[in-house]
């Protein structure tokens, strides 16, 4: 692609973002990659002789919410850091919002927002001052910043906490403030690293509601998570990462249908295991997996198995297969530390 | 997808550069630190006034009564001009060590900045200039006290302040090098023991350099504090001024330039990986 590198554009970019306009005009227009918020091709990262990210190819469409799922150590956070231009990669290519990364990462970051895994709000400032200070990093002028700060305090339901210190906020409030901070520059893309980790169920629902609202406004979202419920609720598509590779990518429902039977029967306890050992033929059509105490029977036609279990007086849970089953199927059942 | 033309740009990426390339956005970093300082100004100022005044009174009046004149100055005047410099040096160093480390490592303030359109070089420059600004505040506080006590010339102090700021950029950048390689706060003790304390004792703060063996004097002149005192002391005590004094500025300026490049490179290597 032609490299947009004129001086005027470089100095312009943050300003344009500060006005909240979408960057569709200019030298990049007509470029196919412009349709993607993130476009990574065969991206690799090594630390010493350990390959943390191994030739991943990944696209986040404009207006889409993509979930990056994977166990701890799968390479999710490294992938996000590469996308931000903070971790140099060893091979492959990467464009974010049409900008080559890391060469024009600064210009790109002026048009995106980040919600990091660990809150890094400024503890010396109040809620309002945090937003003001962050606006100053983007070169947003004071009157414009004042308007946006009010807007974002309302969006994050933090108006009453505007003068509060960061230490006095609950975990959910801090996360909402971090999200509000990520929106200060009216970004086109937001990257969220485990946005609901450590939050109670109510706070989690609240943050999901906010993220869905942003999605409706047409923002592109890239979320890492290991909560399958979060991925199922928020993400248009998911990419499942393991050992630095993307092992599956697509719409949750389609991926489940592609990789798994339609139903699963869950059994627990010694009685269940004894039954399986002695009556294996009766559950023969099912694929059997054991995870610790739990036995999972996967089958497209669960009725005959269920009837047989009923006949032996066993309690069980029958449900459609979900993203969690898919995740365990693709990344294995071993504990990751 | 990404063609050759981008490859050439790719080589200019921050983590691959040897020399820093800061932008004007460093001002936002400096202003953030100033805003925090303003909120905590009172205890900070008490610190800036309190400790140097204690030194001034104890050494100046206590020891001064025994010593009389040093280098044709009353000892309390001699030491007031020395402490003006050494306190500024420590103010810049503390800010570049403990406060910068807190913002980088403990509070992750820098990580938040790096998610915005700031680069590591902007942050390092903002921090260096801020640390020198803290030195300026410290020097202004001591200068006020010394002027009120009639020890130093008010015009001299006023002229000295911008020079003190400039010279303390060197101490700030030196401290930032240490911070860039530091795994924890404890590591800073090495810098205190090996660099700052010897510099404080052997640069002419408490007694004239001529008292020392010539080898030690030569070593002292390799570090910036001795040169700072050569310029600032005559300026604030009404001593003889000549253009040659400006040559002493070259050493701190060289330290600033080199240390800033090294610190930026080390921080880039630490933070962009």
Q: Is residue B9 part of a domain?
A: no
Residue B61: what pLDDT?
84
Answer CATH for A261-320 from 3.40.1350, 3.30.70, 3.40.50, 1.25.10: 3.30.70
pLDDT of residue A112: 97
Cβ-based contacts of A33 with chain B (< 8 Å): 1
DSSP reduced 3-state for A286: coil
Cross-chain residue pair A122–B112, CB shorter than 8 Å:
yes
Q: A309: alpha, beta or left, given left = phi > 0 and alpha = psi -120 to 50? A: alpha
Please compute the mean of the pLDDT values over residues A155-166 and round it to a whole number. Answer: 96
Number of domains in chain B: 1
Of A86, A121, A122, the CB nearest to B114: A86
- Chain B positions touching A134 (Cβ under 8 A) are 112, 116
Q: Where in chain A is the domain with CATH 3.40.50.300?
A: 7-256
Look at residue A15 and tell me whether its pLDDT is greater than 50: no
Comparison of pLDDT for B145 and A4, the residue scoring more: B145
Average per-residue pLDDT for chain B: 92
The answer to whether residue B27 is domain-embedded is no
Over residues B68-119, the pLDDT tens digits come to 899 999 999 999 999 999 999 999 999 999 999 999 999 999 999 999 999 9
Q: Are B29 and B113 in contact (CB under 8 A)?
A: yes
Instruction: Give the one of A3, A85, A113 whose C-beta lies nearest to B9's C-beta.
Output: A3
> Which residues span the domain enclosing B63?
40-271
Residue A299, pLDDT score: 92
Query: What is the C-alpha to C-alpha distance for residues B228 and B254, in angstroms, rounded to an integer?
Result: 13
Which of the four pLDDT bands, split at 50, 70 and 90, describes residue A311? confident
Look at residue A282 in the predicted model and tell me its pLDDT.
Answer: 75
Is B39 close to A120, i.e. CB distance below 8 A?
no
The terminus-to-terminus CA distance of chain A in angstroms comes to 42
Q: Do A121 and B112 touch (CB under 8 A)?
A: yes
Nearest to B127 by CA among B36, B15, B192: B36
Any domain includes B77: yes
Contact B117 A110 (CB under 8 A): yes
pLDDT of B7 > 70? The answer is no
- Nearest-CA neighbor of B58 among B196, B211, B206, B199? B206
Who contacts A151 (Cβ-Cβ below 8 Å, separation ≥6)?
none
Q: Does the structure show a pLDDT above 70 at B4?
A: no
DSSP B200-232: HHTTTSSS-GGGS-HHHHHHHTTSHHHHHHHHH
Of the candidate ranges A74-78, A84-88, A329-333, B161-165, the one whose mean pLDDT is the lowest: A329-333
Q: What pLDDT shows up at residue A161?
A: 97
Contact A69, A225 (CB under 8 A): yes
B chain contacts of residue A181, beta-carbon cutoff 8 Å: 112
The 10s digit of each residue's pLDDT in A177-191 is 999 999 999 999 999
Whether the pLDDT of residue A4 is over 90: the answer is no
Question: What pLDDT is attached to residue B14?
Answer: 78
> What pLDDT sits at residue A334?
64
Which pLDDT value is given to residue A274?
Answer: 82
Whole-number pLDDT of residue A5: 40
In a domain, B11, yes or no: no
Instruction: Verify whether the Cβ–Cβ distance B116 to A87 is below 8 Å.
Output: no
Domain with CATH 3.30.70 in chain A: 261-320
Say which residue, B51 or B164, is predicted with more confidence.
Answer: B164
pLDDT at residue A6, rounded to an integer: 39
- For residue range A229-282, list pLDDT tens digits in order: 889 889 999 999 999 999 999 999 999 999 999 999 998 888 888 888 888 777
So what's the pLDDT on residue A30? 43
The ipTM assigned to this model is: 0.91
- Substitution target in B116, B120, B130 with the highest count of A β-carbons within 10 Å is B116
The strand pairing partners of A309, in sequence order, are: none
Backbone angles phi, psi at A125, to 5 degrees: -115, 160
How much of chain A exceeds pLDDT 70, in percent? 88
B189/chain A closest Cα distance in angstroms? 26
pLDDT of residue A336: 62
- Residue A38: pLDDT band (50, 70, 90) is very high
DSSP secondary structure string for all residues of B40-59: THHHHHHHHHHHHHHHIIII
pLDDT tens, residue by residue, B11-37: 457 777 889 999 999 999 999 999 999
Domain A7-256 -> CATH class: alpha beta
Find, in chain A, the residue whose alpha carbon is nearest to that of B38. A124
- Render pLDDT for B124-181 as a digit per residue (tens, 0 to 9): 999 999 999 999 999 999 999 999 999 999 999 999 999 999 999 999 999 999 999 9
- How far is A260 from chain B, CA to nearest CA, in Å? 34
CA distance B268 to chain A (A): 10
Does residue B267 sit within a domain?
yes
Q: Are A182 and A190 in contact (CB under 8 A)?
A: yes
For residue B273, pLDDT beyond 50: yes
- Whether pLDDT at A224 is above 70: yes
Partner residue opposite A109 with nearest CB, options B12, B28, B115:
B115
Q: With b meaning 16 or more CB within 10 Å and e meaning fewer, what string describes B97-115? A: bebbbebbbebbbbbbbbb
User: Closest Cα of chain B to A30: distance in Å?
Assistant: 14
> Is the pLDDT assigned to residue A1 strictly greater than 80?
no
The whole-angstrom separation of Cα B111 and Cα B106 is 10
Distance between A69 CA and the closest CA of chain B, angstroms: 22
DSSP-derived secondary structure letter, A165: B
pLDDT averaged over every residue in chain A: 87
| Inter-residue contact A38 to A105 (CB < 8 Å) | no
Q: Identify the CA nearest to B226 among candidates B242, B210, B243.
A: B210
pLDDT band at A163 (very low <50, low <70, confident <90, very high): very high
Q: Given an 8 Å threshold on Cβ–Cβ distance, is A1 in contact with B3?
A: yes
Which pLDDT does position B259 carry in this prediction? 98
Work out how many CB contacts closer than 8 A connect A with B. 108
């Amino acid at each position: 692609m032609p490299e947009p590198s004129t001086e005027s554009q470089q100095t312009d970019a943050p300003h344009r973002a500060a006005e909240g306009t979408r960057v569709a005009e200019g030298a990049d227009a007509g470029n196919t990659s412009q349709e993607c918020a993130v476009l990574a091709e065969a991206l690799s990262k090594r630390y010493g002789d350990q390959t943390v990210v191994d030739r991943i190819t990944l696209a986040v469409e404009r207006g889409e919410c993509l979930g990056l799922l994977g166990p701890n150590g799968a390479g999710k956070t490294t992938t996000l850091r590469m996308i931000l231009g903070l971790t140099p990669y060893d091979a492959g290519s990467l464009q974010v919002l049409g900008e080559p990364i890391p060469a024009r990462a600064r210009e790109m970051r002026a048009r995106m927002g980040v919600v990091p895994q660990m809150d890094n709000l400024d503890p010396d400032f109040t809620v309002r001052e945090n937003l003001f200070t962050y606006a100053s990093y983007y070169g947003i002028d004071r009157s414009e910043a004042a308007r946006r700060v009010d807007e974002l305090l309302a969006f994050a339901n933090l108006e009453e906490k505007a003068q509060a210190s960061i230490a006095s906020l609950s975990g959910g409030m801090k996360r909402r403030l971090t999200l509000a901070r990520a929106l200060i520059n009216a970004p086109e893309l937001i990257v969220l690293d485990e946005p609901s980790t450590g939050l109670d169920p109510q706070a989690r629902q609240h943050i999901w509601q906010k993220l869905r609202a942003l999605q409706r406004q047409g923002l592109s979202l890239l979320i890492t998570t290991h909560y399958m419920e979060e991925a199922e609720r928020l993400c248009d598509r998911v990419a499942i990462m393991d050992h630095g590779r993307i092992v599956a990518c697509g719409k949750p429902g389609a991926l489940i249908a592609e990789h798994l039977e339609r139903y699963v029967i869950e059994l627990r306890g010694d009685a269940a295991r004894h039954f399986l050992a002695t009556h294996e033929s009766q559950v023969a059509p099912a694929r059997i997996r054991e995870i610790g105490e739990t036995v999972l029977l996967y089958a497209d036609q669960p009725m005959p198995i269920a009837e047989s279990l009923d006949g032996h007086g066993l309690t069980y849970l029958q449900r459609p297969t979900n993203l969690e089953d898919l995740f365990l199927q693709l990344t294995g059942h071993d504990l990751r530390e | 997808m990404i063609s050759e033309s981008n490859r050439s740009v790719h080589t200019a990426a921050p983590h691959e550069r040897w020399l820093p390339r800061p932008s004007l956005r460093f001002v936002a970093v400096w202003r953030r630190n100033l805003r925090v300082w303003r909120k905590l100004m009172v205890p900070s100022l008490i610190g800036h006034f309190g400790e140097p005044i204690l030194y001034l009174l104890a050494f100046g009046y206590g020891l001064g009564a025994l010593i009389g004149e040093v280098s044709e100055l009353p000892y309390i005047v001699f030491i007031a001009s020395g402490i003006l410099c050494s306190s500024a040096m420590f103010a810049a160093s503390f800010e570049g060590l403990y406060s910068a480390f807190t913002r980088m490592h403990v509070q992750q303030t820098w990580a938040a900045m790096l998610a915005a359109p700031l680069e590591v070089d902007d942050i390092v420059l903002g921090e260096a200039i801020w640390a020198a600004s803290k030195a300026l505040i410290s020097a202004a506080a001591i200068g006020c006290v010394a002027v009120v006590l009639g020890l130093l010339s008010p015009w001299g102090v006023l002229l000295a302040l911008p020079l003190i700021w400039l010279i303390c950029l060197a101490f700030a950048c030196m401290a930032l090098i240490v911070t860039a390689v530091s795994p924890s706060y404890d590591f800073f003790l090495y810098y205190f023991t090996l660099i700052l304390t010897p510099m404080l004792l052997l640069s002419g703060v408490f007694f004239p350099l001529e008292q020392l063996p010539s080898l030690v004097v030569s070593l002292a002149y390799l570090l910036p504090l001795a040169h700072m005192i050569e310029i600032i002391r005559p300026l604030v005590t009404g001593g003889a001024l000549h253009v040659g004094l400006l040559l002493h500025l070259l050493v701190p300026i060289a330290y600033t330039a080199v240390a800033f490049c090294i610190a930026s490179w080390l921080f880039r290597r630490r933070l962009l990986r």
